[in-house]
Amino acid sequence: MKSFSRDEISKLALHREDSCVSLFLPTHRSTKQVQQGAIRLKNLAREASEQLIEGGKRPAEARDLLEPVTKLIEDDWFWQHQKDGLAIFLAPDLFRYYRLPRAFPELAVVARRFHLRPLLSVLSEDATFYVLGLGQNQVRLYEAGLDGLHEVELDSVPESLAEVMKNRESERQLQFHTRTPGIQGRPAVFHGHGDEAGLQKETMLQFFREVDKGVSEFLGTTQSPLVLAGVEYYFPLFREVSKYPRLLDEGISGSAEQMRPEKLHHEAWRLARPIINQTRDAEIQNYGNLSGTGKTAATLDRILPAAHHGRIQTLFLDEDQHVWGSYDVVREEVMPEREATADNEDLLDLAAVQTVLTSGTVYLLDQARMPERATVAAVLRY
């Protein structure tokens, strides 16, 4: 499995061949539902085989081309290690698949290039976020993205609560009179700070202050969302002392150390995604602000030429729609057709791929959120 990135998308977008197979399906993290994924992929492989044969391949050739997919269908271990969606790309000299935290509608497309639109909204999201695992014995910080998370090293954070308590105990010793001169046997006197519960809370707050300082220094000005994971009792204490501006209100209850990485990532992504989507909402608002200035477009006749000339800054697509047809680059002519054939392509996908190749951003939206309720809309660079 390749790591999902803009470079990977660009390589797939530039691949041209008569038999490019693209398969998308929802998958399940729960081992109780793993067989559903295998069944869905088997059905999609059958559909892809029919498309290949319709396009001129012999049945044996279609079977040979789809052999890597057949092996995945029969691989139990593979289905026990899934996320929410699976994308597979297959050609005579290429095989890629990506497990991603997005459930894709089932889709099989065979064309002269790969069908990439379902992936592009995932790519467009600046999905970097962090998970802070709080525990008395260990503090861990994870950097997370769309395809998983990994631990990062924190140099200036106390390793444990015990380390902070040891330092505080040294300070407390300064407040004891171990002996009063001239009076033998007088017991030590502690000039108190409230009851023991209050002292323990203050120790925890000091611990979290030091953790927050180290984490904030590490994150710097990234402004990425930060999700807490640990005992729920810790959350309000940490928030009381934290100065990090994008600390999320909700956290993950449970030990980050003992939680499976896939589950920790899934729960953290569920909390971080609405915050990350604020950028998308700002882009939709920007379209409305620019409407009527000549810097927006909402028809393929304008958008496809602009995409090929690198003029699209932000592209919005209705996630449930396809527009099949062809585009003449020289004449800049759009020729839509009623249905998919071996000789045409999804023109919305074409616009999306060209936008990504020229460093634009693509958002797939439901119809209710689309600017002007259009099927496609764009903010132009010029």
Strand order in the sheet with 20-26: 94-100, 85-91, 20-26, 107-111
- Please give the pLDDT value at position 172: 54
pLDDT at residue 188, as a whole number: 35
Same domain, 247 and 294: no
Q: Residue 77's domain is classified under what CATH number? A: 3.30.960.10
Establish if 122 belongs to a structural domain: no
Indicate the burial class of 23 (C-beta count within 10 angstroms; 0-12, 13-18, 19 or more): buried
- The verdict on 181 and 217 lying in the same domain is yes
Counting Cβ atoms within 10 Å, is residue 89 exposed (0-12), middle (13-18) or buried (19+)?
A: buried
Residues 148 and 263 in one domain: yes
- Of 213, 244, 276, which marks where a domain is finished? 276
User: How high does pLDDT run on average in the chain?
Assistant: 86
Model confidence at 169, pLDDT cuts 50, 70, 90, reads low
268 & 284 share domain: no
SS3 264: helix
Q: What is the pLDDT of residues 91-130, one digit of tens each?
A: 999 999 998 878 899 999 999 999 998 887 676 655 789 9
The residue with greater pLDDT, 91 or 34, is 91
Domain assignment of residue 143, yes or no: yes
Looking at the fold, whether 209 and 318 belong to one and the same domain comes out as: no
Q: Is residue 47 part of a domain?
A: yes
Residue 345 lies in a domain: yes
Q: What is the pLDDT of residue 124?
A: 62
CATH number at residue 345: 3.30.1330.30
Q: Is residue 292 part of a domain?
A: yes
CATH code of the domain covering residue 260: 3.30.420.60
187 — pLDDT class (breaks 50, 70, 90): very low
pLDDT at 121: 63
Does 299 share its domain with 345? yes
Q: Cα–Cα distance between 231 and 181 in angstroms, integer?
A: 47
> For residue range 205-263, what is the model confidence (pLDDT) as tens digits?
989 999 999 999 988 877 789 999 999 999 999 999 999 999 999 999 998 888 988 89
Q: Are residues 167 and 271 in the same domain?
A: yes
Q: What's the confidence (pLDDT) of residue 189?
A: 38
Domain membership of residue 120 (yes or no) is: no
Residue bearing the bigger pLDDT, 181 or 8: 8
What pLDDT is stored for residue 270 in this prediction? 93
In the block, tokens 């001239």 appear at 182
CB of 254 within 8 A of CB of 276? Answer: no
Residue 349 above 60 pLDDT? yes
Residue 223 pLDDT:
75
pLDDT of residue 90: 97
Same domain for 206 and 177? yes
Residues 271 and 372 occupy one common structural domain: no
Are residue 96 and residue 164 in the same domain, yes or no?
no
Q: Which of 115, 146, 170 is the last residue of a domain?
A: 115
**Of 115, 149, 181, at which residue does a domain stop?**
115
pLDDT value, residue 167:
58
How many domains would you assign to the chain?
Answer: 3
Query: What is the dihedral angle through the alpha carbons of 85, 91, 95, 96, rounded to the nearest 10 degrees?
Result: -40
Residue 49 makes CB contacts below 8 A (sequence gap 6+) with 59, 62, 63, 66
Measured CA to CA, the distance from residue 253 to residue 228 in angstroms comes to 8
Q: What number of CA atoms fall less than 13 Å from residue 165's CA on the CB side?
A: 9
Q: Is residue 191 pLDDT above 70, yes or no?
A: no
pLDDT at 61: 97
Helix (H, G, I), strand (E, B), or coil: what is residue 278?
helix
Alpha-carbon distances of 211 from 129, 164, 306, 362, 371, rounded to whole Å: 18, 10, 49, 37, 43
**For a pLDDT cut of 70, what percent of the chain falls above it?**
86
Q: Which residue has the higher pLDDT, 196 or 291?
A: 291
Q: Which domain holds residue 301?
A: 278-382
pLDDT tens digits for range 254-270: 988 889 888 999 999 99
pTM above 0.85, yes or no: no
What is the side-by-side order of every strand in the sheet holding 376-380?
A: 296-297, 376-380, 312-318, 361-365
Query: Is the residue at 124 inside a domain?
Result: no
330 assigned to some structural domain: yes
323 versus 30: the higher-pLDDT residue is 323
- Residues 146, 57: one domain? no
Q: Which pLDDT does position 199 carry in this prediction?
A: 63
pLDDT in tens, 77-87: 999 888 889 99
The answer on 240 and 148 residing in a single domain is: yes
